[in-house]
Structure 1
Amino acid sequence: MIFSDPASVAVVGASDDPAKWGHWLARGALVGRDRRAVHLVNRGGGPVLSEPTVRSLSELTEAPELVVLAVPAAHVPAVVDEALAVGVRGFVGITSGIDEAVVRRIRAAGARILGPNCLGVYDAATSLHLAWGRFQSGSLGIVSQSGQVGLEIGGLAATSGLGVSRFVSVGNQADVTATEALLDLVSHDMTTVVGLYLESFGPGIVPAMAELRAAGKPVVLLTVGSSAAAQEAALTHTGALTSSLDVVDAACRRAGAIRVATPAALVDLAAVLSGGIPRGRRIGVISDSGGQGAIAADLAVAAGLSVPTLTSVDGLPEGASRRNPIDLAGAGERDLANYARAVEVLARGGEVDTVVLSGYFGSYGEDTPSLESAEVAVAERICRAAAESGVTVVVHSMRPDSAAVRALRAGGVPVQHTIERAMAALGDATRLASLDERSTRAASRPGMSVPAERMKAGGPPGGDPCASLAARETSTAGERQVARTNAPPSCRPGYLTARTLLDFVRFPRAHAVTSVAETRATPLRGPYALKADWLAHKSEHDGVKTNVTDPAAAFEEMHARLGPGTYVLEEMDTRENAVELIIGARQDHSFGPVVLVGAGGLHAELFNDTAIELAPVTPATAREMLDRLVCAPLLKGWRGAPAPDVEALAEVIARISEMISARPDLAEIELNPVRVGPDGVVAVDALVIPDRPLQEECAE
């Protein structure tokens, strides 16, 4: 309760100058003086806001429970030492540039600090206002890494009629984290929906968002960055095909949260969700203008919503259309109550999940003051229809703040000034509704649902004798020389080791070759593929030859260019109607293991057709990932081709996801291409990158 309802607070740096932080913090603190003791500390000792001050904390007769630091960074260490000496247990670090040593002293004393470099904290339920700016009480909980972005969200929430229940600016998160701030909202009664702005993600964010969702408090996430940084260290195609936002979206799906792109979109969506998550995608549109209704319908479809044909619309006013969208055709002007009647008919008819009223309603009382009370009464009736039916009702009004609009918002019906914002928010809300129970917790399963032999048949006889990555260190001196010369700094093991490690995956028959004689003595059947074992992107270095009929000649040519080392001679997978995909997995620095599937082969990065989830995933989730791909029709039998074995493919994806989750010593896993046909899955190239270099291979 120290950061939500402290028994006493002290503002150190309180000021009578309205341009200073200390003035705003002192004024906010005094709002709660009927609930708690408020102390203002000003080293000059003069009054602030006509209230007496003390020059230092040591002058107080009791230790304040929470101290706000609003003094220059150079003075913070002395203030903190004094505060800890008198028994202070909590700090709000408004000041930027607070030394890390100060934070360590706070934590060593068993105290906590919010921030530093934060905008403060506000709680409507406890009259706690230790932040810059003004907040309107409401139901939106805000946790923000950026104080200014959080303040903008709070201002938009006030304008929308949503208001703020709690505001926590976490700043640098030197001690108190965004995860802790989120978890503290689970039991916060005033909060019905949470707005979260983060630029970086620490441990526990996904479980915290999931816990809020389980408590009926969905999280709307705003973040930035598409992530060139996330790709810098990528050594596989997998890394090049993922962005930070891809992984954030996967985290949201796992947690049952939704990501948006702007503060306005966050508040728009939060306003819809504050009244409950829509039951589905079916939208009923009502307007007193055919044009506005048609525009609303088009925008609904563009947002991924459905505008179904209606079969039971008895009770609509005479002259109104019975189609969807419903055009009242002037009936609203003849009798304002017709707006409420139309909403009631759709809300109670069972054919739609959401009703959107678009157009002039909300403007009558503004243009004709004598109609204001009647319009407000109709607005209240619309609110009752929404509450009694459980159907989501959203209003688009041409007036942003009329008496009727205020009545709608007060009754729990969100109102937007533009129809595009209304439909965009509903599209986001129904995406949240479509997340099933599996998205709210980490996936787990007891075992394989597809027989192992379907994946392992034809496994790698004659493959790499190494049984583990560690065994790679026993390779020959020649191989070590090649690895040092041609491998990137990760000193990763090669294709043969990857085949052995991924023993649940089916590969073509293959064996290592280091000489022309070994290629001539091969027991394999052509056509062949010849590969430089140690190269990750073999095609880019001309380190792979396919459709080889003379392996000895191919070996001599490649060996002359690339030098000594281990090469792989492999039987080619010549099955017809096989679809090429990429399956990859890696350790994300923020969210942990992730798994990817997409269009594969040479042009994987060109097509950039991928689906990503946090790992591990079940085969069912893997199938959903495949369904999201643009190339998904190829996996269902395109133009009469036999359908590939998608069940076996989903099993491989799930097993890869389990491996990356169970093996933190592995940084990346990639199978590319994976060829899937009616008779199963065959991987024809693979790479495994350990988290740390193998010592012997990386030796100077």
Structure 2
Amino acid sequence: MGELATLFGPERVAVVGATDRDGSVGRAITANLLADFEGDVVAVNPTKDEVLGLESHDSVGAVPDVDVAVVVVPPPIVLDAIREAAEAGIRDVVVITAGFGESGSEGARRERELRELAAEYDLNVVGPNSLGIMNTGVGLNATFGPENAQEGSISFMSQSGAFVTAVVDWANDRNLGFHNVVSLGNKAVLDESDFVREWGEDPDTDVILGYLEDVVDGRAFVESAREVSQDTPIVVVKSGRTEAGASAAASHTGAIAGSEEAYEAALDQAGVLRVDTVQDLFDFGSILAGQPLPERDGVAIVTNAGGPGVMTTDAVGDSDLSLASFTDETVERLQEALPDEANVYNPVDIIGDAPVERFAEALDIALADPNVGAAVVLACPTAPLSYEVLADAVVELQADHQVPVAATLMGGSSAREANERLSQVGIPTYFDPARAVRSLDALRAYREIGQREYTEPETFDVDREAAREILESAARRDTNRLGVEAMDLLDAYGIPTPDGDIVDARSDAVEAAERIAPDGEVVMKIVSPDILHKSDIGGVAVGVPPGEVGDTYEDLVTRARNYQPDATILGVQVQEMVDLDSGVETIAGMNRDPQFGPLVLFGLGGIFVEVLEDTTLRVAPVSESSAREMLDEIDAAPLLRGARGRDPVDEGSVVETLQRLSQLVTDFPAIVELDINPLVATPDGAQAVDVRLTIDQEQL
């Protein structure tokens, strides 16, 4: 165990605010501790001589060797109680009392003081506004819930205390056990990252489950979960889904990378399995705790019912699993073992008159097939079939073959005892076969998480001072938006850009064009921090021949002034032509999320980027392997690989650009949003043709 070992494994627990008053929280916590806790329980209440048979003490400091203080006193005296505990050497505190950050300005002030107190004494504080904690290994139930959890290997944290009570009641009815349970409360000190780290070091925790409404420190959570998830599965329900946001966003990336997308990207990057429903949360938790990981994706279905077998086959088709193709030897063995009317191909239908012996033989043959990575045992009640005997056979065969199995014994009371038998040994059971398949797919997904290779982000040699000067010059102009005038910012970080100049006179435009393309055409763009979508107002001219450069300059400036008379016009950019016909227009961008920090975006670019939304996200900093994954994840990936006879683009150049962009936005928190659109990827490399960004001047 780690830093929180004493919190979950105390020898003496003090209830500060213990009472015997009926219906009170202090009584419920004291009674729950007395019911099962293997250690000592201490009552602290200066107004009582005795509480539920325990001697009551005036203060927690008067009792030696207390490991954990559970505080359930009125809000105004909580801080005094915690300080008293801290001065007595108690480092672990569970604050049940509400009336803190969730309750207005006075509560918010009280919560700030609690954090300061915890920092002063180096305390581990759960809550405030918490239901409490459990550790079934030592019988610790320091909650005011109505019952204790059963013992198991799942550790569960929840941002809702009420949800904890419902889950424990539901899980007890289904023989689903927990090791540790934590009601996070307001997360003033300890948060989800702390418990992920703790349970990742806990040999008695096989799976971590969580119900979260937000994440306090997104970066810390990603780092902690990414390390822990390599060995311990983490499954989370994240509530509070919102539409991707940002009607006020100044960039494409800001419009696409809303808070929900940030959570999706961050949890995936952290190796966390995110689910949408409570049912999936515990379905996945049960199978991850009880079954081995599949070595391959092929699923065998063995059933005595044709219709449900088809339903299960459809569910496999909807997943990332596949229906296993049996070897010729397996088919021959099934033909010998089953009646002529049976289907010996997957799904195996042993027909409705099958006794347990036929079921067991067919399952044994299927599990032995080298193409089978997992199996669904699917049965409907019939007179020849005993569910209880079938359950014993499934338990034995799963143990022999060590192939993950999910069972669907359809029925009510007829399946109850068999389901309990299977659940006791970690074989999950479901009425709906689609749930069985989804759970097996969770095993596959976690296997792939464990196979990921994480590499540290590369640090490139860049010119940070030049970049800082460009950003500060924008602040001196009292603007928070930059366009192509910030191309030098990309140059400072080694991101390739076409040759170009920004000019503020007709003659200078002609001179710049002659230098950039003596006998060729150029691109010309209006430069204004106030005009974001230049092409929408005719502020971009492509393929301008040498003889038209001067007139085009005048035309672009006139259009811009007519469109927005009060706009700041910095000039016109004269830029080298980029061959779009041989390349792919992509977008590379960044949006700074309040929880996770800079999110790097990549996808199909151009003027329709927000319509197509073919993009993917990563939390910065982005490593080379993560950047390569981003190229693979977009739907337009075949375009990068040379679709329809085109030459493939230089993916290495795109990958490096994403890494350098990641370093840029990590180095400068003042960059709030950034778009490189298009980032043109060609067989010869990648070039940032256009850029715009928003800065927070206070961060410079």
TM-score (norm 2): 0.85
Summarize the alignment of residues 499-578 of structure 1 with structure 2, pairs less than 5 Å apart. 499-505=490-496, 507-521=497-511, 522-523=513-514, 524=517, 525-532=520-527, 534=529, 535-539=531-535, 543-549=539-545, 550-560=548-558, 561=561, 562=567, 564-578=569-583
Q: What is the match of residue 175 of structure 1?
A: 189
CA shift for structure 1 position 137: 1.6
- Which residue among 393, 410, 416 is the counterpart of 2:424? 410
Q: Which residue of 2 aligns with 1:147?
A: 161
2:40 to 37, 40, 44: 37
What amino acid is aligned across from residue 469 of structure 1 in structure 2? R
Change (3 A) 1:131 1:87: same
- Partners in 1 of 2:378 and 2:24 — Cα distance? 45
Q: Secondary structure at the match of 2:595?
A: coil
Q: Contact (CA 8 Å) 2:466, 2:489: kept in 1 or not? A: no
- Whole-angstrom distance in 2 between the partners of 1:85 and 1:473: 49
Deviation at 1:6, TM superposition (A): 1.4
Decide which moves more: 605-614 or 527-536: 527-536
CA distance 1:393–1:548, shift in 2 (3 Å) = same
Task: Please give the alpha-carbon distance, in whole angstroms, between the structure 1 residues aligned to 2:694 and 2:534.
Answer: 15
What secondary structure sits across from 1:184 in the alignment? helix
Contact 1:278 1:354 in 2 (8 A): yes
> Structure 1 residues 66, 247: CA separation in 2 closer, same or farther (over 3 Å shift)?
same
1:330 partner amino acid: G
Q: Where does residue 130 of structure 1 map in the other structure?
A: 142
Instruction: Using the aligned pairs only, state the percent identity.
Output: 26
Matched-pair contact (CA < 8 Å) for 1:490–1:692:
no
1:38-53 equivalences in 2 (<5 Å): 38-42=41-45, 44-45=47-48, 48=51, 50-53=52-55
Distance change >3 Å, CA 181–CA 291, structure 1 → 2: same
The 1:114–1:575 alpha-carbon spacing in structure 2 relative to 1, beyond 3 Å, is: closer
SS in structure 2 of the partner of residue 277 of structure 1? coil
Counterpart CA distance in 1 for 2:663 and 2:165 is 41
SS at 2:176 equivalent = coil
Q: In structure 2, how many angstroms separate the alpha carbons of the residues matched to 1:212 and 1:32?
A: 30
**Mapped contact 2:156–2:210 kept (Cα < 8 A):** yes
Q: For 1:111-510, what aligned pairs fall within 5 Å after superposition?
A: 111-133=123-145, 134=147, 135-198=149-212, 199-202=214-217, 203-214=219-230, 216-227=231-242, 231=246, 234-274=249-289, 275-311=291-327, 312-313=330-331, 314-315=333-334, 316-319=337-340, 320-332=342-354, 335-360=355-380, 363=381, 375-399=387-411, 402-435=416-449, 437-438=451-452, 441-444=454-457, 467-471=466-470, 473=472, 483-484=477-478, 487=479, 489=480, 494-505=485-496, 507-510=497-500
Aligned CA distance change for structure 1 residues 115 and 547 (closer, same or farther; 3 Å)? same
Tell me, yes or no, if the aligned pair for 1:160 and 1:271 is still in contact at 8 Å.
no
Range 389-398 or range 660-669, more displaced: 660-669
Q: CA deviation at 1:586?
A: 4.3
Aligned-partner Cα distance in 2 for 1:65–1:694: 43
Pick which of 579-588 and 259-268 moved more.
Answer: 579-588
- Counterpart CA distance in 1 for 2:542 and 2:61 is 83
Instruction: Indicate conservation of the 8 Å contact 1:287/1:358, yes or no.
Output: yes
Q: In the comparison of the two structures, how many residue pairs are matched? A: 657
Partners of 1:283 and 1:307 within 8 A in 2 = yes
Q: Give, as a single letter, the amino acid of the residue that structure 2 aligns with 1:378.
A: L
Equivalent position amino acid for 1:408 in 2: L
Map residues 3-18 of structure 1 onto 2, 5 A cutoff. 3-17=7-21
For the residues of structure 2 that align with 1:595 and 1:209, how far apart are their CA atoms? 19
What are the equivalent positions in structure 2 for 1:69-148 lying under 5 Å apart?
Answer: 69-84=71-86, 86-98=88-100, 99-100=110-111, 101-133=113-145, 134=147, 135-148=149-162
Do 1:195 and 1:219's aligned partners in 2 also have CA atoms closer than 8 Å?
yes
CA distance in 2, matches of 1:80, 1:102: 8
**What is the identity, as a one-letter code, of the residue corresponding to 1:10?**
A
Give the match for residue 688 of structure 2: 683
SS at match of 1:185: helix
CA drift of 1:540 comes to: 5.0
Where do 5+ consecutive residues of structure 2 fail to align? 101-109, 562-566
Give, as a single letter, the amino acid of the residue that structure 2 aligns with 1:605.
E
Per-residue deviation at 1:514? 0.4
Pick one of 602, 609, 628 that aligns with 2:607: 602
Residues 492/113 of structure 1: CA separation in 2 closer, same or farther (3 Å cut): farther
CA distance in 2, matches of 1:402, 1:51: 41
CA positional deviation for 1:383? 1.7
- Deviation, 1:610, is 0.7
- Offset of 1:473 from its aligned partner? 4.9
Query: Match for 1:677: what amino acid?
Result: T
Deviates more, 1:151-160 or 1:109-118: 151-160
Of 9, 14, 27, the residue aligned with 1:23 is 27
Q: Summarize the Cα distance change of 1:207–1:622 in structure 2 as closer, same or farther, 3 Å threshold.
A: closer
Secondary structure of 1:130's counterpart equals strand
- Where 1:176 maps in the other structure, the secondary structure is coil
Task: Please name the residue that 2:104 is paired with.
Answer: none
| Structure 2 contact 257–591 (Cα < 8 Å) conserved | no
How big is the shift at 1:59? Answer: 9.2
Aligned mates of 2:508, 2:402 — CA distance in 1: 74
Paired with 1:618 and 1:106, the residues of 2 have a C-alpha distance of: 36
Q: Secondary structure at the match of 1:556?
A: helix
Post-superposition CA distance 1:29-81 (Å, at most 9, x none): 11344x21112345552765x42452632695535322212222133234334
**CA contact under 8 A between 1:9 and 1:64: conserved in structure 2?**
yes
Cα contact 2:583–2:681 (8 A) shared by 1: yes
Q: Distance in 1 between matches of 2:115 and 2:662?
A: 39
2:106 alignment partner in structure 1: none
- How far apart in 2 are the matches of 1:182 and 1:576? 49
Q: Could you tell me how far 1:82 is from its partner in structure 2?
A: 4.2
User: One-letter code of the match for 1:511?
Assistant: D
Matched AA of 1:194: I
Q: Deviations 1:160-199 (Å, cap 9, x if unpaired)?
A: 4331111012222222232222222123233111102221
Contact 2:154–2:206 under 8 Å retained in 1: yes
* Closer, same or farther: CA 321–557 of 1 in aligned 2, 3 Å: same
3-state SS of 2:618 partner? strand
Report the alpha carbon displacement of residue 664 of structure 1 after superposing the two structures with TM. Answer: 4.8
> SS of the counterpart of 2:610?
helix
Partner of 1:649 in structure 2? 654
**Aligned residue number for residue 460 of structure 1:** none
Q: What's the secondary structure of 1:28's corresponding residue?
A: helix
Amino acid at match of 2:495: F
What TM-score comes out, normalization by structure 1 length? 0.85
Task: Return closer, same or farther for 1:497/1:678 CA change in 2, 3 Å cut-off.
Answer: closer
| Residues 85/511 of structure 1: CA separation in 2 closer, same or farther (3 Å cut) | closer
Moved more, 512-521 or 315-324: 315-324
Contact 2:191 2:216 in 1 (8 A): no
Contact 2:484 2:691 (C-alpha < 8 Å) held by counterparts: no
- Name the aligned partner's letter for residue 529 of structure 1: M
Cα distance, 1:415 vs. partner? 0.8
SS in 2 for 1:280: coil
**Which residue type is aligned with residue 424 of structure 1?**
R
Q: Please give the alpha-carbon distance, in whole angstroms, between the structure 2 residues aligned to 1:622 and 1:86.
A: 51
Structure 1 counterpart of 2:554, which letter? E
| Alignment-mate amino acid for residue 339 of structure 2 | E
